[in-house]
Structures are given as structure tokens and as C-alpha cells.
Chains A and B, each alone.
Chain A
Amino acid sequence: MRLSGRQIDCVRGGREVFSGLDFAAASGQALAVVGPNGSGKTSLLRLIAGLLAPAGGSVVLEGGADELTLPEQAHYLGHRDALKPALSILENLIFWRDFLGGDAGDLRDSLARVGLSHATHLPAAYLSAGQRRRLSIGRLLAVRRPVWLLDEPTSALDAAGQDLFAALMRDHLSGGGIIIAATHAPLGIEAMELRMGGKA
């Protein structure tokens, strides 16, 4: 499996964010997107996720499932956690498993792996920022999808959480997955680097 983008132009609100961008990542590879604020890291991830239309160029996934589009084979972990405070931890995860569909993992196991198995019936409103992040990482485990698009995945996590997440990413890569992560901090895994914001 190989995810690649060719000559991508991105324009937002009449402003050119980046242009002529190329990137590629194959199965088992991670790509760390680095660059200063406003260089278009988030835009690139949203573009790959199909949430933004490119002004030019294209993104393709070769060797994936034929009947599914790239966004349907990708997990997007954005700045926002996509959690409902009124629902319990387990209910949040059950919803995303049922809605996203496809190849589902075991929910209790997923929660255990992100360290949230002690209080699955509590409302998500009671979680701290780091725990919310762990719960949304649990979503990546609850439904198996080959491409992970991560936007500042470790921002709210403490040192233990970052180690735990690095282990999960390594598992995903060794299972043949692809990771594209926008980040300021080191990811804690082997990753190629894509530097954005070359122009002054």
C-alpha cells in the first residue's frame, strides 16, 4: 500500500497556503509533517482526509480496498476530540465503532490499551484533556483502518501517555499501516520528515 500526493496546491480564504507539494509514504512508514505555524500542516492533513478540496494536484492511495475512497480508509485525529460529554466513555466509543463500520476491534480491549478501562461507564465530561485524547486514540484502535492522519497527536498527553501512544503507532506500522502526523514535538517513532513552509 502506498499513499502519495503530487503537486498539491492549497488555497484557503483567497490565500495560497502551499503549492507544488509532493509526498509519499508506503506501508509500515510514518511521515512527520513539520514546519512553523501557518505553514499548512493541518491543511495538508485535512486535504488528505478529503475535508478540503485541493486547488490543484491529487492524493492517491494505491493498493487499498478498491471499493472504498481514501477518506473511508483513513482515521483522522484532529485538534478536536469528537467526543460528546453527555455520553459515557464506552458509549462514545460504541458510537464511532458502529458509525465508522468496517473491521471492528474489541472495545474493552481498546480502552484497556489506552488506559481507560477503569471507568468506562462515566460520562466523558468528567475526563481531563489528556484522558479525552486517550479516548479519541481508542477510536483508532476500535476500528481498524490502514491510514492514520494525526494532527498534533501528543499535544495533551503526559510522558507516560506519549510512550504509550508511540507503542501503539509502532504496532500500527508493523501491521502494515501508514501514519502521516503533523507535529511540533518528536513522535517517538522512526519517521521520515516532510518540511513545510519553505518560502519566506
Chain B
Amino acid sequence: MTLIDLANPTKFLSLTGRILPWLAAATAILLVIGFYQAAMAPDDYQQGATVKIMFIHVPNAWLSMFVWGVMSLAALGTLVWRHPLADVAAKAAAPIGAAFTFLALVTGSLWGRPMWGTYWQWDARLTSVLILFLMYLGLIALWRAVDDPSRAARAAAILTLVGALNLPIIKFSVDWWNTLHQPASVLRMGGPTLDRAFLIPLLVMAIGFSLLFVTLHLAAMRNEILRRRVRSLQIMQASQQAA
């Protein structure tokens, strides 16, 4: 099986049809184990039980960036290699990425609540994630603005790549802006100093959520392919009636 085989939508459909149940099962098992371990993990001596939000927040935050990376690869596929599944992959990934980003925002805000006393602080990390969320929404709006999928795909691909180039600049700017206005950040997450008791559940959750993304993404790509087939059938029907 090579990438060329996958380029054929029909082969893609039959192959993913066989893989998807296994993927879904693996995702479910990993997430169940992850949630169990997270629940069993000890409380933090400072943060108490709220530290457990981390087990959901960190994987979501990681995926929010990872999905943009996936879309950037797909964008290159659209513009450079003209791979027939690339724009399907890009389009299917955008709402899923937006959902993960939204979850990262909500969990981050809930995590911050006991420490800050408010649900929202203009904290550097949260602010960057918020901007990323806005960019996802803009991208989805762009996909929805054009009826012809191949036109929309090229516009979205360019915006995705421009976004990918700009994200590091935005991240740097927001960090700089934040240290200027508010030197001490309360939230500290991730990092190698994490205790093993936290690290292992966190890894399990991260892998579980990543698998969840792959599962959802493949399923969404299948839907998109079928949706396009319906569209071209409808176009054929319209031109037959006109003739």
C-alpha cells in the first residue's frame, strides 16, 4: 500500500472502512485507561484536585497545534502535488481542529479559575490559543463561503500556509506582550519536571486524544468524499436536464 493507492478515493473508502473500527476501538480503550489513571493520580500539593484538568487540557492544546500542522501538509498537497485527497483532508481537519482548540480554551479557563479567581486572564498561552481559535473559525468561514470545493481548497490552502508561517510570529509577539504587561504567569504546565505519577497518564491521554483525532479525521474525510460524489451527481443531473 502506497500513497498512490490512497490517492484513489474509492480505495481510500474501502481501506479506511476496514481500519476505522479498529482505530475507534483502540481510541476508546486508551481513553478509558487514560481517564482511569488520571482519576487515580494523586492531587497536587498546591493545586489540589484541579490539577487533573491538565490531563484533558494538555492533549487538547497539543492537538490544536498539531491539526494546523496536518492542514499545512494537506495545503502543500493541494498546491504543490495536487493530490486529489489533500483538500478533502484539509477541509475535514478544520472543524475538528477548531473543536480541540475550543476544548483547550475551556479547560484552560476552568483550570485558571481557582488560581486567578476569574475565568479569563490575558495569559500568554491562553491568548495565543484564543488567536489560533479565531484563525480556525476564519478558515471554516472561508470553506463555507465558496460553493465550488476546488476553488475553496486553493484559497484555504494559501491561508493555512500563511497562518502556519505567522503562528510562530504571533506566539512570540503575544509572549513578549504578556511579559511586558504582566510579568508573572500562574499557569505552568507540561515540562520535564513533571512527576512520573502525572507523566504516564498524561502520555496515555495524549496518545488517546491523538488517536481520537485520527479516527474522527478519517471518518470526516469519508463523509466529505461522499458529499462531493453527491454534489457531482447533482451537477450531472442538472446538465442532463438542461440538454
Q: Per the CB under 8 Å rule, do A and B touch in the complex?
A: yes
- Residue positions of A touching B, CB distance < 8 A: 13-15, 200
- When distances are taken between beta carbons in the complex, the residues of chain B under 8 Å from A200 are 243
Question: CA A200 – CA B240 in complex, angstroms?
Answer: 9
Q: Does B180 contact A (CB under 8 A)?
A: no
**Complex-state Cα separation, A172 to B92, whole angstroms:** 52
A15 — which chain B residues lie within 8 A by C-beta?
A: 232, 235, 239
Q: Output the nearest chain A residue to B242 by Cβ-Cβ distance.
A: A38
- Min CB–CB distance A51 → chain B (angstroms): 14
What is the interface residue range for chain B against chain A?
A: 10 to 19
Q: Is the CB of B239 within 8 A of A14?
A: no
The total of interchain contacts (Cβ-Cβ below 8 angstroms) comes to 15
Closest 6 pairs (CB-CB, A-B): A13-B148, A14-B232, A15-B235, A200-B243, A14-B235, A14-B231
Chain B nearest CB, measured from A185 CB (Å): 24
Cβ distance A7 to chain B, nearest Cβ, rounded Å: 19
Query: Residues of A contacting B148 with CB < 8 Å?
Result: 13-14
The answer to whether B150 has its CB under 8 Å from any CB of chain A is yes
Cβ contacts B118-159/A at 8 Å (1 or 0 each) = 000000000000000000000000000000111100000000
Residues of A within 8 A of B243 (CB): 200
Residues of B within 8 A of A13 (CB): 148, 150-151, 235
Chain B: minimal CB distance from A13 (Å): 4
Q: Could you tell me the distance between the alpha carbons of A14 and B232 in the complex, rounded to whole angstroms?
A: 7
Closest residue to B232 on the A side, CB-wise?
Answer: A14
Distance between A9 CB and nearest chain B CB, rounded to angstroms? 14
* Complex A-B: 7 CB contacts under 8 Å: A14-B148, A14-B149, A14-B231, A14-B232, A14-B235, A15-B235, A200-B243
- 0/1 string, B206-243, CB within 8 A of A gives 1: 00000000000000000000001001100100010001
A15 and B237 alpha carbons, distance in the complex (Å)? 11
Q: Which residues of A contact B228 (CB under 8 A)?
A: 14
CB-CB under 8 A from B235, the residues of chain A are: 13-15
Instruction: Determine the distance from Cα of A15 to Cα of B243 in the docked complex, in whole angstroms.
Output: 14
How long is the Cα–Cα vector from A75 to B151 in the complex, in angstroms? 26
Beta-carbon nearest neighbor of A199 in chain B = B243
Instruction: Point out the residues of chain B lying under 8 angstroms from A14, CB to CB.
Output: 148-150, 228, 231-232, 235
Residue of B nearest to A53 (CB): B82
